[in-house]
Amino acid sequence: MVGGGQLARMSHEAGIPLGIRFRLLSDTPQDSAAQVVRDVVVGDYRDLDTLREFARGCDVITFDHEHVPTEHLRALEADGIPVRPGPDALVHAQDKGVMRARLDAMGIPCPLHRIVRDPGDVAAFASEAARAAGARQDTGDADTGSGPGSGSGSGSAFPVPVVLKTVRGGYDGKGVWVVRSTAEAADPFKAGVPVLAEEKVDFARELAACVVRSPHGQAVAYPVVESIQVDGVCDTVIAPAPALPEQEAVQAQELALRIAGELGVVGHLAVELFETRDGRVLVNELAMRPHNSGHWTQDGAVTSQFANHLRAVLDLPLGDPRPRAEWTVMANVLGGDYPDMYSAYLHCMARDPQLKIHMYGKDVKPGRKVGHVNTYGDDLADVRERAAHAAGYLRGTIPE
Ligand code: ADP
């Protein structure tokens, strides 16, 4: 697995009972997965020679992140090393411009979008987005975001806010800006990377449809979940998404299965979705690796996303994705002011014997994802409260 983060750490954990020998390419020996995997190569995933050396003797290569240059993956494939998911699929998770173009061609609903060259271009896009929102408002109740407070106050304020994203390299909200004027739109262009403009979707909530597909073409779909973000970072995931009509849930699962099939994805695919207030479901993002919206499966599903990702990349039959409990809630633990989180175990474990704690071995830094907790049961309010309490207590935001 390329990348030494928590996804690799938890994938390795899932491979232990199957006797899967794991080799890791990690940036540093201290990375989350490098602390627990025995066969670690420390090196730079952007360097082809390092990747080749690492891949020698591996049966298959898979990923903890999507940042390996696409051309390097093609080179590894040309060397005869199976890369899963392969570069032709993975590029849709690496490049938001490529992803949007492909989903458009497949007729899959996405936010209104366009690649933009400069702030003037963004201004033109904002007018187009305002017109589209206005047209929807004539037939429904879409929020254009216009009105008091939505502009920057500068002479070149946009009629509606626009979301700008660098097409490559973003994660956890980094590389995403909400801009309201040409002045604000200048920053994203500074990196010299192409920029994608999107309408700012007035979503009711965010959902994720996670599926796993093997080279054979076998595929499984997990229940559709609700994902609650705080400051662009995933905070809580509820499985299944509360009050999601059965028909919409099945449609979202079918959509994810179709994307996985048509793009030739191998492994875990998370399709991040916006459920709009006017009843549409739009695709926000694709992730082709284990994903935060699937962490609940470790304790809440018959087969976890990590186990199924490994089964898929090794072309083994996939495991049952069905839930074990009526409700499972995952809450991320972010770093707070207390460097030692372990002293909080006493309280959390004593308060809730069913609580499942997953820590990543990372140094605590404010706002950094350092672990998560899973809770489950048949009373959603209780399950949510227990997850939120444990995550808050571990972070140090809930006093003794
Ligand atoms: P990342 O690569 O950081 O995961 P995303 O494209 O998923 O970037 O954006 C991060 C968050 O920003 C999303 O989860 C959502 O809350 C918000 N966001 C992204 N795109 C839009 C949009 N077009 N409209 C409204 N909110 C958005």
pLDDT in tens, the chain (400 residues): 999 999 999 999 999 999 999 999 999 999 999 999 999 999 999 999 999 999 999 999 999 999 999 999 999 999 999 999 999 999 999 999 999 999 999 999 999 999 999 999 999 999 999 999 888 877 654 444 433 334 444 548 999 999 999 998 777 678 899 999 999 999 999 888 899 999 999 999 999 999 999 999 899 999 999 999 998 899 999 999 999 999 999 999 999 999 999 999 999 999 999 999 987 899 999 999 999 999 999 999 999 999 999 999 999 999 999 999 999 999 999 998 777 888 899 999 999 999 999 999 999 998 999 999 999 999 999 999 999 999 999 998 876 6
Ligand 1 centroid – CA 233 distance (Å): 9
Pocket lining: 43 vs ligand 1, CB cutoff 6 Å: no
Closest residue to atom 14 of ligand 1, CA basis? 232
pLDDT of residue 349: 97
Which CATH number applies to 112-199: 3.30.479.30, 3.30.1490.20, 2.30.33.40, 3.10.20.30?
3.30.1490.20
Do 180 and 159 meet the contact criterion of CB atoms below 8 Å apart?
Answer: no
Residue 270 CB less than 6 A away from ligand 1: no
User: How high is the pLDDT of residue 140?
Assistant: 55
If one residue of 65, 122, 128, 284 were mutated to test the ligand 1 pocket, choosing by the most ligand atoms within 8 A of its CB, it would be 284
> Which fold is adopted by the domain 203-395?
D-amino Acid Aminotransferase; Chain A, domain 1 (3.30.470)
Which stretches of 278-337 are DSSP H helices? 297-300, 305-313
Which of 65, 176, 196 has the most ligand 1 atoms within 8 A of CB, as the residue to mutate? Answer: 176
- Dist. CA 372 → ligand 1 center (Å): 21
Report the CATH architecture of 6-83.
3-Layer(aba) Sandwich (3.40)
Our answer on whether the CB atom of 171 is closer than 6 Å to any ligand 1 atom is: yes
Spatial distance between the Cα atoms of 85 and 162, rounded to a whole number of angstroms: 32
Q: Which amino acid is at 41?
A: V
CA of 314 to the centre of ligand 1 (A): 32
Q: Alpha carbon of 161 to those of 96, 200, 234, 249: distances in Å?
A: 19, 6, 22, 30
Determine contact, residues 168/66, Cβ cutoff 8 Å: no
